[in-house]
A and B are shown apart, each in its own frame.
Chain A
Amino acid sequence: MNTADQYLKAVFLVQQIEEGPASTGALADRLGVSPASVNEMVGKLADRDLLVHEKYKGATLTDAGETRARDALATYCVLERFLANVLEVEDYRGEAGQLEAVIDETVADRLDMIIEREPDCPNCFDAEADACSHLVEELGEVEASD
């Protein structure tokens, strides 16, 4: 997944958590990068009309940005589900976060051929738990936000 898509996905999830624009600080925390890096990339994405950035408020995805963010989130869901259910990785959240930059959407589509995903994906993704809510339920995990 390329860097732009990782940012769009992060904005989408932070918007859900904050119930409003995604602040630079929250995006920097989520992506593990500096606020300066966030500001630079947010500026580029705004130039491409994928989000709107309001000073002191944060970033809000445009319709085009949201479409790309949802595709990126679906790719991420495939990766989490593949790690958890096929490779039986306990820390599937952590590893999915480390690997997502190297896994292309086409590769995820291929992995999707051997996993079961619910039709509501990626709406099932729980931003607070940082995982598919069905997966959390299947694995009998306590919600990460608890």
Chain B
Amino acid sequence: MSVASRVESDGQLARLLQIGIVLEEVVEARAYEHYQRLPDEERDERVEDLLQEAREESAEHRERLEELVSRLDGDEEAAIDVGALVREQYARTGPNDFDGILYDQLNGEETAYKFYDDLIEAVEASDVTFGIERETLLSTLREIREAEAEGVEAVAALMESRA
């Protein structure tokens, strides 16, 4: 138990990065599900492009996080098929209209931003020497956080333009 919001070991950092990987996979898989379920009358290029870009960006973030995890002295990665879990639970948690799809996408990007923001703060608060260079770790996480912020803005702008 730790009430302090800081990362205290390679293992803990690896686990947090693994959670980030799952969050990215959830965004990626849900964007795909949203795309598949878009009603015909709601299909337009901007929405399709947005969902496609969200999927590609999440895949890229996931790969960057996996690269960091592979360089840490932590547990091996668990083989998880997050896509299958998302599909299984989509009926329960998926939005049922077009506005809901955009809102869900916005929520996914905002959540990822919050996660990276908290993680950066927790790394900055730690004086532990990690298995990867601290500045490399922080600059990667900050770049991903910035991309999430841009993702939030892109979804919000699209929602605004359709209002």
Contact = CB atoms under 8 A, between A and B. Distances in A.
Contacts of B19: 82, 99, 103, 107, 111
B4 A113 contact: no
Interface of A: 3, 6-7, 30-33, 82-83, 86-89, 95, 97-104, 106-107, 109-111, 113-116
B79 to A, nearest CB: 9
A95 B30 CA distance: 27
Interface residues of B, number: 35
A29 B93 CA distance: 38
B86 A113 contact: yes
B23 A110 contact: yes
Contacts of A111: 19, 22-23, 26
B89 A113 contact: yes
B89 A87 contact: no
B1 A106 contact: no
A6 B30 CA distance: 31
B100 to A, nearest CB: 14
B142 interface: no
Interface stretch (B10-18, B53-61, B148-156): B10-18
B85 A86 contact: yes
A81 to B, nearest CB: 12
Interface in B69-98: 75, 78, 80, 82, 85-86, 88-89, 93
Contacts of A87: 15, 18, 22, 78, 80
A91 B132 CA distance: 24
B86 A97 contact: no
B15 A95 contact: yes
B89 A106 contact: no
B7 interface: yes
Contacts of B111: 106-107, 109-110
